[in-house]
Amino acid sequence: MKKNLALLSMIAACIALSSCATVQKNPLATWVPSKNHDIRKPVLIVVHFTEEDSAQQALDTLRSQNSGGKVSAHYLIGKDGTRYQLVDDRKRAWQAGAGRWGTMTDLNSTSLGIEIDNNGHEPYPDAQIDSLLVLLDDLCRRWNIPRTQVIGHADLAPGRKPDPGKFFPWKRLHDAGFGIWPADDAPPAPQGFDVWRAMAQVGYSLKDRAGAVRAFHQHFRGDDGDVLDAEDARILYSLTQPEGIGTEAQPQAADTQAPTQ
């Protein structure tokens, strides 16, 4: 009995120390805690491909580093649909890097990253996408992330990143309720429609316009073209109408300015 009591006391002490360790108190100020707070929450989900030869190779990289340095993601999905979690949803994984989506610029702080085992040159197996859809539903429900706020790495970093590539089935995701996609019966864009303004309204940075168009084409047309045409204008017109993505799907600036941990 004494040994059990001693063990329980030790466990309680460890829990107490762990709880204290999570609170960062500034020695320059008097600590007067308020209960009116909660954790910072993600508002965006970013989909990647691993560009590796296997899930195990990707797991090794995501727990160490690649040629550019240390890298990670919150989740990895294998070809057979197996899901792995590498980073707590509440923590900042090093997955998005430099980029912009709408008003957000610190994407590592505002997004969850999902790596998918794919080398970038092949279709995604059904089991893998089925597994992704289950995960997306869970994350959007638990964190109250708008289901339109699911994008690719290339979308936020055009010209720098190509993933998840032209083989990724964005329409299938949209049919399941995630991401954005033009209406099947969308009419042509009216004369004078500003395609660049529409690109920015959807969320793309126009710093590298050719790169932005390539990312847009990979997402919505399944190719690598870098010139906007009439079909692109039709798609953009559909996405920016009130019944499409509209401005309401864009996170407010306040969401992007949360202090870092």
Residue 243 CB coordination number (10 Å): 7
Of the candidates 99, 97, 125, 119, which has an alpha carbon nearest to the alpha carbon of residue 50?
Answer: 119
Whole-angstrom CA distances from 188 to 109, 165, 191 are: 38, 26, 9
CA distance 68 to 113: 17
Is 211:159 a contact under the CB 8 Å cutoff?
Answer: yes
Is 161:113 a contact under the CB 8 Å cutoff?
Answer: no
Which residue type, as a one-letter code, is found at position 224? D
Catalytic residue among 51, 52, 115, 243: 115
Q: What angle do CA 200, 147, 156 make, to 5 degrees?
A: 35
| 115 in catalytic set | yes
By 3-state DSSP, what share of the chain in percent is helix, strand and coil, each rounded to 5?
Answer: 35, 10, 55
Task: List, by residue number, the catalytic residues.
Answer: 115
